[in-house]
Amino acid sequence: MSGRRRARGFTLLELLVAVALLSVLAVLSWRGMDSVLSGRDRIVSASDDLRALSVALTQMEEDLRRSWPIRLLGLPESSITFPVGSGNGSEPPTMGLLRETRGADAVQVQRVIYRLREGIFERGFSLWAAPSPDGSQQVPATPFTWQPILSNVQTVQFRGWLDGRGWLPAATLGPLLTAAQATEGAPLPPGAAARPALPQLTGIEVVLVRRGERIVRVFAVTD
């Protein structure tokens, strides 16, 4: 039986080395997989943020574009407003506008408000109805429906471009637009052949600070 070779197994040291190598490979594989999954989650989160921002700005652009025809109706209210007092430090800035919208059988006027509330940039809308011609009867205000369109917003700033005056913040622009609207509806002074040209609002700048990132968008508000 001297020609038969005796079978030889693995020693304990060889088994320990094999187990150690498999452990190292497992750790490296787990870290690689974790890195891939983390990268995928970051990409999905960034994609969702970009999509939400794009939807919010597209909605605002659509509202401002549909506010252009309102100027031709001669309504007793400006098509774009910045409420007096908003944006002065004690109250967050707010932008309001009147826009056309399609009703069941006719074109209707809709009131839209953009505001920042507890870190949420919101869009509110309701139907607008004109008061009686003599101003003696006011139409009850329709409740607003509010839509959260962008979250994690720290601050919002509105500015408007007035021809001949440049960019003005909402706190300054609001009283000017209100005074211009009142002047437009007032009778001409005695001896005046024509009403002096009022400053025209031709652009809106919106600045959003979201998660430390400053986002600036400029909209044209005239055709």
Mean pLDDT by 10 residues, the chain (223 residues): 57 78 79 74 82 92 91 81 68 87 77 93 88 56 88 92 88 76 52 56 92 92 74
Question: Do 223 and 68 meet the contact criterion of CB atoms below 8 Å apart?
Answer: yes
pLDDT at 218: 95
pLDDT at 154: 93
Question: Do 178 and 96 meet the contact criterion of CB atoms below 8 Å apart?
Answer: no
Write b or e for each residue in 53-88: b if 16 or more Cβ atoms lie within 10 A of its Cβ, otherwise e: beebbebbeebbebbbebbeeeeebbbbbbbeebbe
Is the pTM for the entire model greater than 0.85? no
Q: Which helix (H) or strand (E) holds 126?
A: strand 120-127
pLDDT at 10: 67
DSSP 26-75: HHHHHHHHHHHHHHHHHHHHHHHHHHHHHHHHHHHHHHHHHTGGGGGGT-
